[in-house]
Homo-oligomer: A and B are copies of this chain.
Amino acid sequence: MNVRITGTGVYLPQKKITTQEILSTAKNHKNTLIEKELLQIEKSNGVQSRHVASDELGETTSQMAAWAILVALKNANLQPTDLDLIIFAGAAFEQPVPDTSVLIQLKLDLSKHGTPCFSIHATCLGFLHAMDIANAYIQSGRYQCIAIVCSEISSKAINPHDPHTYSLFGDAAAATILTGTTGSSHIHHSYITTFSEGAYYTEIVAGGTRKHPNHHQCSIEDHSFQMKGREILKFALPKSQDVLDLIWPNLSRTTVDLDHIITHQPSRIGLLAFQRFFPIEKTTNTLHKYGNCVSASLPLTLHEAIQQEQVQRGNKILLFGMGAGLSIGGMVLTY
C-alpha cells in the first residue's frame, strides 16, 4: 500500500503583528533592550510579521490544531469520523497531562468514536517523525487514514527581554491527512538523525523533572526558549553533507531528482545555509510572514506550496529540517 497526502490545512491566529508594532510596544513599556536591537534583528532574522494566538479568541493549542485538521479534512473531502488515528507532533503541549492529542480529539467531537491518538515530540522535526510513523502504519496495515497536526503557541514561552527569540517565532497550526493508496503517491525514503552533543544548544530548562516548579525557583528565562543560533550552525553545517547524501543519493551536490523542496524555517541565516544545497527557485519560504513556527513550519510551508501550485500531484518533493537535539532529517516523497 502506498501513502498519499490527501489533504493539508492551516490555522493562523487572527492577530498578526509586524516587527514595527513590537517596536512600538517595546517603546511604550520602555523595554530599551528590545527597542535598540529589534530593527537590526529584523534585518538579520528576516521575520517581518508573525501571528500571535489569543486566549480571548479561543485560540488554544488544541483548538488551533482541531481547526487546522478540519481544513485539511475538507481539502481531502473527508469527515473527522473517517480518521483512524490522530498524531499531535507539536513541541509545546497544552498541559503536561493528558497529552495534547486527547484535547484535539475532544475538540473534534470524536470522544464517542474513540479515535486513537497520541503525541510525539521531536521539537522542529516532530512532523517528519510523525510522517515516518504514519507511513509505517499505513504500509503495515495498522491504520489507513491518519491526521498529523502541529500546533505551536511559542508566544507564551518566549522571553520578552531576549530580542533574538522574541521576534523570531510565530504561532500557527498545520495539519496533514495521510491515506493508503494504490496510486503513484509514495514516500520513497526518509532519514532522520540526532547528534545529542548539541542537546543543550536549544532548550527550555524548567518545567520537567530537571527543574520542577514545585522544587525550584524558576525564572522567566528558565521557562523560555533559549537558542544558540551561531553554535547550532557551526555544529550542524559540517554534518549536513553526509546527512543529505543519506536522505537521497548525491543530495548534497544536486537536486536534479527533485521538483520542489520544503524546509523548516529556522531563521534568515538558517535559510541562507540551506541555500548552499537547495536552489532558491525550487523552494517555498514562509519565514518572512509567519516566523519560525517550530514543528508547524514544515506542514505550513507544504500547505502554502500546494495552495500556490508550487507543489503539484506527481511532483517528487523533499521535506527537510533541523531541530533541537540536534537533529537533522529529510523525507523524499511523490505528492
Binding site for B on A (CB under 8 A): 53, 60-61, 91-103, 105-106, 110-112, 114-123, 125-126, 129, 132-133, 135-137, 139-140, 142, 153, 156-157, 159, 190, 192-199, 202-215, 218, 220, 223-225, 324-325, 327, 329
Q: What are 7 A-B contacts defined by CB distance under 8 Å?
A: A93-B208, A95-B208, A98-B123, A100-B208, A101-B194, A117-B122, A118-B120
Contacts of A224 in B (CB 8 A): 214
B95 touching A205, Cβ below 8 Å = yes
The residue of chain B having its C-beta at the shortest distance from the C-beta of A211 within the complex is B95
B218 touching A213, Cβ below 8 Å = yes
Given A120-B121, A204-B96: A111 in contact with B196 (beta carbons within 8 A):
yes
B96 touching A196, Cβ below 8 Å = no
Given A102-B199, A196-B110, A208-B61: A126 in contact with B118 (beta carbons within 8 A):
yes
Expressed in whole angstroms, the Cα–Cα distance for A325 and B116 within the complex equals 10
Given A96-B207, A106-B197, A208-B94: A120 in contact with B120 (beta carbons within 8 A):
yes
The residue from B98, B159, B205, B212 contacting A325, defined by CB atoms under 8 A apart? B98
A194 touching B102, Cβ below 8 Å = yes
The residue of chain B having its C-beta at the shortest distance from the C-beta of A329 within the complex is B116
Expressed in whole angstroms, the Cα–Cα distance for A190 and B141 within the complex equals 12
A114 touching B324, Cβ below 8 Å = no
The residue of chain B having its C-beta at the shortest distance from the C-beta of A128 within the complex is B118
Contacts of A195 in B (CB 8 A): 111-112, 114
The residue from B97, B133, B136, B210 contacting A202, defined by CB atoms under 8 A apart? B97
The residue from B94, B126, B212 contacting A156, defined by CB atoms under 8 A apart? B212
Expressed in whole angstroms, the Cα–Cα distance for A324 and B100 within the complex equals 11
A106 touching B196, Cβ below 8 Å = yes
Expressed in whole angstroms, the Cα–Cα distance for A203 and B102 within the complex equals 11
Expressed in whole angstroms, the Cα–Cα distance for A61 and B139 within the complex equals 33
A118 touching B121, Cβ below 8 Å = yes
B142 touching A132, Cβ below 8 Å = yes
Contacts of A123 in B (CB 8 A): 97-99
The residue of chain B having its C-beta at the shortest distance from the C-beta of A132 within the complex is B142
The residue from B98, B126, B204, B218 contacting A203, defined by CB atoms under 8 A apart? B98
The residue from B100, B101, B204 contacting A95, defined by CB atoms under 8 A apart? B204
A133 touching B135, Cβ below 8 Å = no
